[in-house]
Chain A
Amino acid sequence: MKIMVAIKRVVDYAVKIRVKPDKTGVETNNVKMSMNPFCEIALEEALRIKESGLASEVVAVSMGPSQCVDTLRTGLAMGADRGIHVEATSVLYSLTVAKILKSLVEVEKPGLLFLGKQAIDDDCNQTGQMVAGLLSWPQATFASKVVLDKEKQVATVDREVDGGLETLSLDLPAVITTDLRLNQPRYATLPNIMKAKSKVIKKYTPQELNVDIKSDLEVIQVTEPPKRKAGVIVSSVDELIDKLKNEAHVI
């Protein structure tokens, strides 16, 4: 069985982002970019499944500008067998990404499609659900544990839901999106980074995959959130209780 993993290049999670003065978006020039943390977890899970002998190949997919190849190389250095880059310069919304992934699934025919539960830039939390819908595949979102039964072609997945955990059993092929708790992604070692340079990254354009990249969403503006007014440092528990009681009236 082949596993496909979708990975996204985003502003590094530790960067304090800056909104552009013209309000068109967030500054991404000269800002550290990395693989979306949830995508790292998705890739790690795919690699672990392969290493346990339940999958034969892990294919990493990314879409966006040419720099996405760097993200794919990182994925290949972690252990993915090969990469696919769908080059697109315009903004890709979830629906388009889901359609591109659907086309790639039809070409590659994986038994499992892993994605992160959300990208930490747009915070959408949509793509996995959408591609599952388009493919008519079952979905398990927010996965914190995945157990594969190769004989029965079933994945049993623990999902992090409000108020606890839910366990689902899915017939393969299926789409799984990963939560933070699923695993601890590995670091790429230097020899693996060197090896990754010789791995294949195939290129497509959305047109070649018959996906139209027009969108039904339009960003009007991006602004900074309202600032909180400066607080006060109190010197004792008594003062704190007094302020909460008599100034803020919350206790």
Chain B
Amino acid sequence: RMEASCLELALEGERLCKAGDCRAGVSFFEAAVQVGTEDLKTLSAIYSQLGNAYFYLHEYAKALEYHHHDLTLARTIGDLLGEAKASGNLGNTLKVLGNFEEAIVCCQRHLDISRELNDKVGEARALYNLGNVYHSKGKNVASAGTHDPGELPDDVKNALQKAANYYEENLSIVTELGDRAAQGRAFGNLGNTHYLLGNFRSAVLAHEQRLLIAKEFGDRSAERRAYSNLGNAYVFLGEFETASEYYKRTLQLARQLKDRAVEAQACYSLGNTYTLLQDYEKAIDYHLKHLVIAQELNDKIGEGRACWSLGNAYTALGNHDQAMHFAERHLEISREVGDRSGELTARLNLSDLQMVLGLSYSTNNSMMAESHVVDNSLNGTRPRVGRRHSMENMELMKLTPEKVHNWN
């Protein structure tokens, strides 16, 4: 019996990837490369698909390798359209790997060639990719500090503004082309860019468009994303009731889609929103739901967050025993996952609670002693200052000043 040809193996790889089994697809493509072919355009298509398969499998170093091979090959054989595609894929991969400057060069090359070939579809796709790279670049720099949406250093603001411009440019082309799916994607990411820039009203407008298109397509995952993003924007607009309604829709869809992680996130957002509404009973209800799923998924970080939030909500209700229970659990988990700032926060919460319950709370004497050691390590700063500092390290969300009076 004759050995399978390169083409046969590649065709089977394509079929498997299309069916959603990228792992099996990869083995066939790699076998095809092993067999080899003199047809460089076929080889280019194999490299490209290998790169995409590895991208979907989150193996980005491999994805980079194969998209790079594809780019080299496309240039060698003078295939301009092939070069544009390989550049775009390489750009997306470099973006995920955090190499934003090279990603911009690659995506720009995709854009330039598409314009040269008068390829409108390619041009629009390159603009979307460029928007994504600038968005990631901005978000990456912003998350290194402790900024809120809307309070950004200039370089972050510049990157995000560029992202918004590319998404707008993309939108004008895909609207002209009547490509609704592409419009949906651009609106979603444009909304998130406005959110980070602190343009919360614009964010809402974009996410409402995204929601409309998701419903047109019956795309429930996209619909759920839009609800969640709308909830986030309304929190920053200080409209907590509206935010809670959107988070409830998110929760509903997460349950329908049987996505436990997303369900947990929705419960957590609802817990926080009800805390802002000072409805601590409902907040506790949702934080407990979040806690159960976090335990089920063995998500220690999520479990720690749930305990921290529950401790705060029980304290607000004056239920100090429960508050103490969750503060202790938060301390245990912070130690377990090696979260130093979480550990410090938990200790300070505990010492505050112990003060209220009376210093004779004998079972926890050892914890009090330990917390003094921690306080001393802060170079003589007072515990209260120490706590605030540690909370900032835990990605605290401060609300914008003009909204503070609303619930003070």
A binds B: no
Which residues on B are within 8 Å of A, measured CB to CB? none
